Amino acid sequence: MAYELLTFAVADRIATITVNRPDKLNALNDALMAELGLAIDEAVSRDDVGAVLLTGAGRAFVAGADISELSGQSAVQGKERAERGQRTFRKFEVSPKPTLAAVNGFALGGGCELAMACHIRLASDKAKFGQPEVKLGIGPGYGGTQRLPRLVGKGRALELLLTGDMIDAAEAYRIGLVNRVLPADGLLDAARAMLGTMLAQGPLAIAHCIEAVDRGLDMGLDDAIALEASHFGLLSATADMAEGTRAFLEKRQPSFTGT
Ligand code: COA
């Protein structure tokens, strides 16, 4: 698949998607959003890919939705744009293969929302986060009002949403918005190392963890743990579980096949 506004490269079973519109700080216009949807679809469907690393070219991760496109939209177009973007970001969230945002710089508005839709966020010490939409007289449209409180709690989320203030990587770590902060020049290596650890695990078990957390968080506890028990039972019938437990007992590394 040929992309114009992002690059897609596979190495060591990791698909690296680099948003590549640096002159506009990787702002998400409609064309770039469409490519992001195609790129995550490609990563999920390819057998040679087991994990996804998402980052940005230049000094931004993504500085938000493209304001020049937003400025002229009607109410109907705005709703449709939000729904399209939400569908695209949701693909990153429900991907059965781990998705990791390596936040190299500005992650504002849609950029923060895109990072939040990924399973893991690693931040460079130069990264900046925020939901500045209120400064434009609009609100988040790509899930920010929902994923931010789920990650950092209602009070902290509302502070960020209502002030539009930017926070640095250290503060993002303190409030639980990112998993780790790394020196800028070590960010991608750390991201690949973490994904490498995940790639060494049973891929079906990984997929079930992702699904149980994603679906379970929106269920009552009894339903959620029932879902977990079903997953646990299903995984017991896989070759991967037979191999993983046998390898432990035989004191060797497992060799998982995803079956
Ligand atoms: N949409 C469209 N263009 C954007 C953009 C966005 N969200 N964010 C940055 N750009 C463009 C700028 O217009 C500028 O383009 P130009 O060189 O053609 O004028 C270019 O990217 C560089 O941005 P600039 O503002 O000059 O860089 P800066 O270092 O002075 O400021 C930011 C960086 C991130 C603080 C600033 O660009 C900004 O506030 N961006 C908007 C963030 C936002 O509100 N996002 C939510 C949108 S809903």
Q: Is the CB of 133 under 6 A from ligand 1?
A: yes
Q: Say which residue the tokens 């990072």 belong to.
A: 115
pLDDT tens readout for residues 105-149: 999 999 999 999 999 999 999 999 999 999 999 999 999 999 999
The answer to whether residues 173 and 181 touch, using CB atoms and an 8 Å cutoff, is yes
Question: pLDDT digits over 19-55, tens only?
Answer: 999 999 999 999 999 999 999 999 999 999 999 999 9
Given the residues 35, 113, 171, 250, select the one marked as catalytic: 113
Cβ of residue 140 lying under 6 Å from some atom of ligand 1: no
Which pLDDT band holds residue 196 (cuts at 50, 70, 90)?
A: very high
Contact 243, 257 (CB under 8 A): yes
What is the pLDDT at residue 23?
98
Q: How confident is the model at residue 1 (pLDDT cuts 50, 70, 90)?
A: confident
CA–centroid distance, 99 to ligand 1, in Å, is 26
The SS3 assignment for 54 reads strand
For the stretch 216-239, pLDDT in tens is 999 999 999 999 999 999 999 999
Query: Residue 163 in 3-state DSSP?
Result: helix
State the distance from the centre of ligand 1 to the C-alpha of 63, rounded, in angstroms: 6
pLDDT number for residue 101: 99
Share of the chain above pLDDT 70, in %: 100
pLDDT interval class at 189 (50, 70, 90): very high
Domains, in order of start, for the chain: 6-199 (3.90.226.10), 203-249 (1.10.12.10)
Return the residue whose CA atom lies nearest to atom 47 of ligand 1. 64
- pLDDT (mean) for 91-112: 98
Q: Whose CA is nearest to atom 11 of ligand 1?
A: 24
Torsion-angle region of 7 (φ positive above 0: left; ψ -120 to 50: alpha; else: beta)? beta
Can you give the pLDDT at residue 65? 97
Identify whether 133 is a catalytic site residue.
yes
64 pocket-lining for ligand 1 (C-beta < 6 Å): yes
Measured in Å, residue 128 CA sits from the centre of ligand 1 at 13
**Ligand 1 pocket mutation, candidates 24, 138, 148, criterion most atoms within 8 A of CB:** 24
Per-residue pLDDT band for 72 (boundaries 50, 70, 90) equals: very high
Average pLDDT, the chain: 97
Three-state DSSP state, 11: strand
Strand 180-182's sheet: what is its strand order? 6-11, 14-19, 51-56, 99-103, 120-124, 180-182
Element of type H or E holding 212: helix 203-216
Ligand 1 atom at minimal distance to the Cα of residue 136: 44
Indicate whether residue 113 lines ligand 1 (CB < 6 A): no
